[in-house]
Amino acid sequence: MTALTACHSFGSEETFGYSMGGIDHLADNLSVTDFWVNGAAGFQAGSGNAGVPAPSLPVKWHPGLTVHVVWDVRDWQHDKGSTHEANVPVDPYPEDGGNLWVHFLANGSVRVVVSDISPLASNYPGPHDSIPRKRPWDMYPPRIAYSDVSEQFLDTKLIHQRCDAEPDAAACVKHAHEKLLDEEREDARRYLPRCAPMAGEDYLACDRQAEQSMRAARFARRCKVTPDLPECAHERDPKNISQRSTGAPDQ
């Protein structure tokens, strides 16, 4: 994309370049996964941490000063993404400069502010729109494989064993992999959202419990399809059948 390498020349003007940070004001199911300003990468927007180098700006602000912003938005609820770009006016700033803050507002517009004041401070000169504290990847888990590498190898091996005798083995394998991804996403959307509002040790504990529940659900499905696996012996024990459900526990 040519937009990613775009830059502005300020001629012989004296310039400065501090740090840059992106601020995500978008809805709970959306996030700015990457952004660039005049070609400089800002990476993921969040709550206002300025941790990467900003592109150069003239020491003296002047009317008509703009920067070119490119940003990627992830819609976690619908499992899709989009790329946007715009020439964005830079708010007036003093000659002592400051960090460059890029606000991705809820209405889809972008505002660029230069200030040495934190966006969370009451005297910040930029917008004070709410900054959602969100984990959309937990609220709306995407369609990806959540199993670890060893489990993926085992599932792939079992899929090929089941499909080798099919007339169209390749189509069978593709369908089985797609089904596996759908099942793992459903597991994630069942267990992970409860962790999203939590923080600190509570979040970590919830995340570990969710991972265990998803692993149990995968194991139960695997043993239902391939009950002769040695690790499924516990599932075949009549004493245990009545104690287990086909899914993982909700607790």
Q: By residue range, what is the domain housing residue 230?
A: 137-241
129 and 142 part of one domain = no
**Better-predicted residue by pLDDT, 35 or 241:** 35
Q: Alpha helices of the chain — where are they, by DSSP H?
A: 136-139, 149-163, 169-191, 200-225, 233-236, 238-241
- Judge whether 251 lies within some domain: no
pLDDT band (50, 70, 90) for residue 12 = low
Domain boundary among 134, 162, 183: 134
What mean pLDDT is predicted for residues 10-20?
76
Q: Are residues 151 and 228 in the same domain?
A: yes
Q: Kindly state the average pLDDT of the residues 60-65.
A: 94
Q: Are residues 162 and 125 in the same domain?
A: no
Residue 23 lies in a domain: yes
Q: Are residues 107 and 179 in the same domain?
A: no
Q: Is residue 146 part of a domain?
A: yes
Residues 45 and 102 sit within 8 Å (Cβ to Cβ): yes
In the three-class reduction of DSSP (H, G, I as helix; E, B as strand; rest coil), residue 16 is classed as strand
Say yes or no to pLDDT of 176 above 90: yes
Domain boundary residue, one of 134, 164, 186: 134
d(C-alpha 146, C-alpha 103), whole Å: 32
211 or 47: which carries more pLDDT confidence?
Answer: 211
Indicate the pTM of the whole model: 0.75
The per-residue pLDDT of the chain, averaged, comes to 87
